[in-house]
Amino acid sequence: MQKDRFKFRCVYCANCCSDKKTIVNVTYLDILRITKGLNLSFNEILEILGFYIYEKNISNDFFKKMVIPSIITEKGNAFVGLLKKSTGECIFLDEKKCKIYNLRPMFCRTFPFTFKVLNIKSSSSKINIQMFYTTKAKEYCKGISANAPYISNKKWVKIGKRVVEELKENSKFIEIWNNNVEKGRIKPTARNFIKTILKYDNKMKRLIIEN
Ligand code: SF4
Ligand code: SF4
């Protein structure tokens, strides 16, 4: 059990939702949750997602280190995230409030923390993880301050374990997508990516999370 203590209380400054340089990465499970929760049509799903293409000269090692692997698209390797407005704000931010708070992606739920897996056993309760403030959070999160209360490590570690599980599932999904693209079985368009997600796994039970 981690002994470090962390101070944090969200003050709803929305800095994390409006940083121009931050991509709000989404897993396929995040996409399914938002799609179902908002009852989005196929075209509406495409309207909320950004396919952020990475430069061609980035090494394979760099991609391997990413928590959410990139997907192969017809325009190059890309990370999938929520679309941003020209101001840098997330498409779901409205007057400093999140319009999809109950459906927000896992990365929004865990901010300002990040988790390092120390060991993975067969089930999520056996995962041992360590928590840290993210680098970005230390830069601009107003909720981290000397006046903020100490958080409950137990509560956040529980969220962290759930995220680790979902990231593992997401990596599996992306591996399948990338393999199929490499073998020429699927044309790597954004539309096909969404179609694949909708077919892959849509059991509501696995999508429910406590808010
Ligand atoms: S989904 Fe909500 S919490 Fe996440 S970045 Fe967008 S506005 Fe912020
Ligand atoms: S930057 Fe920190 S305090 Fe501001 S909205 Fe995000 S989590 Fe809350």
pLDDT digits (tens, 9 = 90+) for 62-94: 555 567 889 999 999 999 999 999 999 999 999
Instruction: Classify the phi-psi angles of 55: left when phi > 0, otherwise alpha if psi is within -120 to 50, otherwise beta.
Output: beta
pTM: 0.88
Q: Which residues pair with 48 in a beta bridge?
A: none
Task: Give the per-residue pLDDT at 199.
Answer: 86
* pLDDT above 80: residue 129: yes
Q: Is residue 8 part of a domain?
A: no
Binding-site residues, ligand 2, Cβ < 6 A:
10-16, 111-112, 141-143
Minimal-distance CA residue to ligand 1 atom 8: 17
Q: Which residue has the tokens 């399948």?
A: 176
Minimal-distance CA residue to ligand 1 atom 1: 104
Q: Is residue 208 part of a domain?
A: no
Q: Is residue 125 part of a domain?
A: yes
The boundaries of the domain holding residue 178 are 15-203
Ligand nearest to the CA of 13: 2
112 upstream amide cis, omega within 30 of 0: yes
Q: Is residue 54 part of a domain?
A: yes
Task: Give the per-residue pLDDT at 63.
Answer: 54
Domains contained in the chain, number: 1
Binding-site residues, ligand 1, Cβ < 6 A:
17, 24, 82, 90, 92-93, 98, 100, 104-105, 108
What's the Rg (C-alpha) of the chain? 17
What CA–CA distance (Å, rounded) separates 58 from 63? 8
